[in-house]
Amino acid sequence: MPTLPDFRLETHFAKWEFKARYHMTASDAESISMRDLLAMATPEDREEFEGMWLGYTETFGAPDLRAAIADTYASQSASDILCFAGASEGIFAANNVILDADSHAIVVTPNYQSHETLPIAICEATGVPLDPNDGWSLDIDRIKDAIRPNTKLVTINFPHNPTGTILPLDRYMALIELCRTHGIYILHDEIFNGLGPSGTEHLPFVADVYERGLSLGVMSKSYGLPGLRIGWIACQDHALLSRMERMKHYLSICNSGPSERLAKIALKNRDTLLTRNCGIVDENLPKWDAFFARYPDLFDWARPDGSCMAFPRYKGPEGVEEFCRTLVEESGVLLLPSTIYSSELGQTPTDRFRLGFGRTGLDEGLAAMDAHLMKNRRT
């Protein structure tokens, strides 16, 4: 396998995530403490955690955890679930099992980098851009035009990272029917499903509605529990799951046992966690509305459909890269410039930045941004 390129987003975070004073671009919901999570446990679940044997676990994932994950879907069972050490391991396994050197893949752009770099490292790939003039939606005809006889995989992500867009249901179902006609797998990165402003209508999980759909999930984003490092893929194709399980033998082998116990507790309290996290989004979005209303000459702002991210435009003369650099270096406010989301498969926006609103403590960061902008307007 070729050497993979530098992972721009993770490299940027490695430099700034734990150094910057105000993390204003996080893609996860506010986390909770171990104490708070264990307080949600039944006595039986707590004893399972505290009294567990710290040996290896099953490569597929603990059966009761897989059953708890399956319960979050409309029509999945434990046998349809393969657990991973986070979502990135699932992305790696799926691409390396579905694709080979003679394959072709289609990915939407912009996107989380590994959704593009992994297919490119294996085979030929085509990027299909989301349209900012159409609410960052996806033109299904462009997917249709990109399909080749050897196309094996289409990768999508809704709610989308970084824009927060949710594809209209009719386009989603049209995409599924198109891929069904051609026998193409769909890897749907659904890690933000369930998170967004209260009342957000999320798409049905692809594993529930398509026999070749791979639903990528994780405890990190909507649940706000990235420290657990528990992810999964739900899929009706058990032969494919078995091949990915064998790929996992070369990766993590198995998940952390304590993390599996804690993830089960969280999933049994899924509604409580998601209601809490969506409430944080509800509280934070009006604050961003007010912030951008103060600077109409510098920003174009539109609320996203879901998740806890947005992708506004920066209109300042120095450009978004310099704006984000000076903001973090001078005022300790971390944002992600759109150059982080550049693509080898086509043009992506160069005048936007990703912000987050799923965590608490937003007021301090907004005050620091206000002070930075006012200072630079005077100088």
The answer to whether residues 208 and 96 belong to one domain is yes
Our count of domains for the chain comes to 2
Question: What is the reported pLDDT for 378?
Answer: 59
Query: DSSP H helical segments within the chain, as ranges?
Result: 8-16, 34-39, 43-50, 63-70, 87-98, 114-122, 140-146, 169-182, 206-209, 238-248, 257-268, 270-293, 320-331, 362-378
pLDDT tens digits, one per residue of 202-239: 999 999 999 999 999 999 999 999 999 999 999 999 99
Question: What is the reported pLDDT for 377?
Answer: 74
Residue 12 has pLDDT above 70, yes or no: yes
Which residues face 104 on adjacent strands?
A: 124, 151
Question: Rounded mean pLDDT of 317-335?
Answer: 97
Long-range contacts of 315-319 (CB under 8 A, 24+ apart): 315/351, 319/350, 319/351
Q: How many CB atoms lie within 10 A of CB 141?
A: 11
Residue 2 in domain: no
Beta-sheet pairing, 151-157 with 104-109: parallel
Domain boundary among 269, 294, 311: 269
Rounded to an integer, what distance in angstroms lies between the CA atom of residue 34 and that of residue 343? 38
Domain boundary among 269, 287, 315: 269
Question: What is the reported pLDDT for 3?
Answer: 81
State percent of the chain over pLDDT 70: 99
Distance from the first to the final alpha carbon of the chain: 51
Residue 65 in domain: yes
Rounded to an integer, what distance in angstroms lies between the CA atom of residue 72 and that of residue 336? 31
Question: What is the reported pLDDT for 376?
Answer: 81
The answer to whether residues 141 and 248 belong to one domain is yes
Residue 352 has pLDDT above 70, yes or no: yes
Question: Rounded mean pLDDT of 60-64?
Answer: 98
State percent of the chain over pLDDT 90: 96
Domain region containing 253:
51-269
Question: What is the reported pLDDT for 52?
Answer: 95
pLDDT tens digits, one per residue of 280-306: 999 999 999 999 999 999 999 999 999
Domain boundary among 252, 269, 286: 269
* Phi then psi dihedrals of residue 58, to 5 deg: -70, 140
Question: Rounded mean pLDDT of 18-22?
Answer: 94
Read off the DSSP letter of residue 350.
Answer: S
Task: Check if the beta carbon of residue 323 is closer than 8 Å to that of residue 338.
Answer: no
The answer to whether residues 81 and 227 belong to one domain is yes
Question: What is the reported pLDDT for 368?
Answer: 97
Question: What is the reported pLDDT for 2?
Answer: 66
Q: How far, in whole angstroms, is CA 224 from its chain's centroid?
A: 12
pLDDT tens digits, one per residue of 162-202: 999 999 999 999 999 999 999 999 999 999 999 999 999 99
Residue 83 in domain: yes
Residue 56 has pLDDT above 60, yes or no: yes
Rounded to an integer, what distance in angstroms lies between the CA atom of residue 22 and that of residue 368? 8
Question: Rounded mean pLDDT of 77-84?
Answer: 98
Question: Rounded mean pLDDT of 57-76?
Answer: 98
Q: What mean pLDDT is reported for the chain? A: 96
The answer to whether residues 68 and 185 belong to one domain is yes
Residue 162 vs residues 75, 177, 262, 305: alpha-carbon distances, Å:
29, 26, 28, 12
CATH number of the domain to which 278 belongs: 3.90.1150.10
Which residues face 370 on adjacent strands?
A: none
Question: What is the reported pLDDT for 327?
Answer: 97
Q: pLDDT-derived band of residue 379, with 50, 70 and 90 as boundaries? A: low
Question: Rounded mean pLDDT of 343-359?
Answer: 96
Rounded to an integer, what distance in angstroms lies between the CA atom of residue 324 and that of residue 320? 6
Place of tokens 């806890």: 308
Which residues face 81 on adjacent strands?
A: 234
The pTM score is 0.96
HSE value, Cβ hemisphere, 13 Å, CA-based, for 300: 7
Residue 274 vs residues 2, 79, 97, 196, 284: alpha-carbon distances, Å:
40, 25, 32, 9, 15
The answer to whether residues 248 and 127 belong to one domain is yes
Question: What is the reported pLDDT for 1?
Answer: 56
The answer to whether residues 295 and 361 belong to one domain is yes
Residue 371 in domain: yes
Amino acid at 2: P
Residue 308 has pLDDT above 60, yes or no: yes
Dihedral (Cα; 328, 329, 331, 334), 10-degree rounding? 10
